[in-house]
Amino acid sequence: MDRPADDQRLGRAYLAPEVTVFYDRGRCRHYAECVRGLPQVFDPTRRPWIRADLADPNAIAEVVRRCPTGALHYRLLAAEPEEPTSPTTITTDPQGPLLVRGDLVLDTPDGVLAETRAALCACGRTQNRPFCDGACGVNASHPGGTRDQAPASGKEP
Ligand code: SF4
Ligand code: FES
């Protein structure tokens, strides 16, 4: 399987024989598409919170593609990497970021990053440019249910 060089920038890897799921906690803004889509795989009350071995790999990939922030990515053993959507779409979350999907080339402090999904900061307060880091308060009224709302342990899930 060809692995793009940018994999190392996608966060922690959760391995299963036919699929790897990557999670970047700093980019998750709790839209909960993952938890709603495959609760047996994405369970923020469990450690590890992602179990990529508990569902069909293609079903996992389909749910990962729903993640609007790009906090989640996947690599399938038997299929090509995620195709960007076309045309590029930009959706405004009135509570914070711009949700962008498409064939993206992002200018980050660590260099250019090829992406398919991202929640980009629209308020200028983020410490994780160009991504929304929640400084806008987008999750201020969120009741919880995703990883970042778990009690801080200082560790990744
Ligand atoms: S990883 Fe975070 S941002 Fe992505 S779908 Fe899950 S809760 Fe939403
Ligand atoms: S839009 Fe969320 S930190 Fe700027």
pLDDT digits (tens, 9 = 90+) for 137-152: 998 866 544 434 433 3
State whether the beta carbon of 31 lies less than 6 angstroms from ligand 1: yes
State whether the beta carbon of 122 lies less than 6 angstroms from ligand 2: yes
For residue 114, the model assigns a pLDDT of: 94
Secondary structure of residue 85 in the 3-state scheme: coil
State whether the beta carbon of 14 lies less than 6 angstroms from ligand 1: no
For residue 149, the model assigns a pLDDT of: 40
d(CA 106, ligand 1 centre) in Å: 19
Over residues 115-142, mean pLDDT: 93
List pLDDT tens digits, range 67-99.
999 999 999 999 999 999 999 999 999 999 999
pLDDT band at 8 (very low <50, low <70, confident <90, very high): confident
Nearest to 13 by CA among 3, 2, 21: 21
Tell the burial category of 30 from Cβ atoms under 10 Å away from its Cβ (0-12, 13-18, 19+): buried
Q: Which of 100, 128, 132 to mutate to test the pocket of ligand 2 (most atoms within 8 A of CB)?
A: 132
Nearest to 26 by CA among 117, 123, 148: 148
State whether the beta carbon of 116 lies less than 6 angstroms from ligand 1: no
For residue 155, the model assigns a pLDDT of: 40
Secondary structure of residue 50 in the 3-state scheme: strand
pTM of full prediction above 0.85: yes
* Percent of the chain whose predicted confidence (pLDDT) is above 70: 86
d(CA 138, ligand 2 centre) in Å: 7
Q: Which atom of ligand 2 is nearest to the CA of 133?
A: 3
Residue 64 backbone dihedrals phi, psi, to 5 degrees: -60, -40
